[in-house]
């Protein structure tokens, strides 16, 4: 069987085939954290993930990126991957047999996550937990989503990146990957920055400033130019607490209720 060509962007592209799986694989870094994507648009990856720190880490083998194209698993002459919603309604739903076949092809070594607005909110804590694991398989939905039966059958976790709807899960998948990969050791050049940024300790991050010291009548807070590290740390903590209390009362309540000591 002749397979259609696929583009290579520093990742493994998986297509339906009668060949044994081990003959299909391009070289990957063994034991590196792996993001595996099930999507109708594999060409959307790596996208922004191929740039800057995540792109450099991908090229250096600190993490792996694989895509599985759903279309070759489609049904019939036209490789249909979706059908009308049971009970009526607008849009189309990705078929369970198609998605299940793609999941079996991708393998069961990684936890499976479906990007969905009805899922649990994605948090920094969840990103940290995922970064400490072997990786994740992400299902990118389209249309009206994915048949619930395949999610139940494969024990798929549903995660949301916010209370809004996108046209597909590809952008959400890149958000999850970026937030997680940057927590992998050696991906960031300065690991100390992880301890200071928003959500690292339950608070929003303090404001940041840089040169010039004077700009359009606005000044950098004097304490930041004082060289007094204790005073700077105290100011940053005060600002982080103030911003969190004003802008994210939900985070502030959780911060106040955290175990002390």
- In the annotated binding site for S-adenosyl-L-methionine, the residues are 141, 161-166
Cis upstream peptide for 249 (omega within 30°): no
Beta strand 82-83 with 93-94 is antiparallel
Q: Minimal CA–CA distance to 11: which of 173, 122, 130?
A: 173
Q: Which residues of 15-47 are buried (b: 16+ CB within 10 A; e: fewer)?
A: bbeeeeeeeeeeeeeeebbbbbbbbbbbebbbb
- Which residues fall within 8 angstroms of residue 101, CB to CB, at 6 or more apart? 16, 73
Residue whose entry in the numeric block shows the structure tokens 């359009």: 216
Binding residues: 141, 161-166
């Amino acid at each position: 069987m002749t397979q259609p060509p696929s583009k290579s962007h520093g990742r493994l592209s998986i297509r339906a085939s009668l060949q044994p799986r081990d003959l299909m694989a391009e070289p990957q870094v063994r034991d590196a954290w792996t993001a595996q994507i099930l999507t109708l648009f594999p060409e959307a990856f790596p996208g922004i993930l191929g740039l800057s720190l995540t792109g450099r880490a991908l090229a250096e083998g600190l993490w792996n990126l694989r895509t599985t194209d759903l279309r070759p698993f489609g049904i019939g002459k036209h490789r249909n991957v979706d059908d009308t919603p049971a009970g009526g309604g607008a849009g189309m739903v990705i078929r369970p047999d198609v998605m299940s076949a793609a999941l079996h092809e991708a393998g069961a070594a990684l936890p499976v996550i479906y990007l969905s607005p009805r899922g649990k909110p994605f948090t920094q804590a969840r990103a940290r937990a995922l970064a400490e694991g072997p990786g994740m398989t992400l299902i990118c939905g389209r249309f009206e989503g994915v048949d619930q039966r395949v999610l139940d059958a494969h024990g798929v976790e549903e995660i949301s990146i916010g209370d809004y709807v996108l046209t597909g899960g590809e952008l959400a998948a890149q958000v999850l990957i970026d937030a997680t990969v940057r927590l992998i050791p050696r991906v960031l050049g300065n690991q100390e920055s992880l301890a200071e940024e928003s959500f690292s300790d339950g608070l929003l991050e303090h404001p940041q400033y840089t040169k010039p010291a004077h700009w359009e009548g606005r000044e950098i807070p004097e304490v930041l130019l004082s060289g007094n590290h204790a005073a700077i740390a105290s100011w940053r903590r005060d600002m982080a607490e103030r911003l969190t209390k004003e802008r994210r009362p939900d985070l502030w309540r959780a911060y106040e209720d955290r175990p002390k000591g």
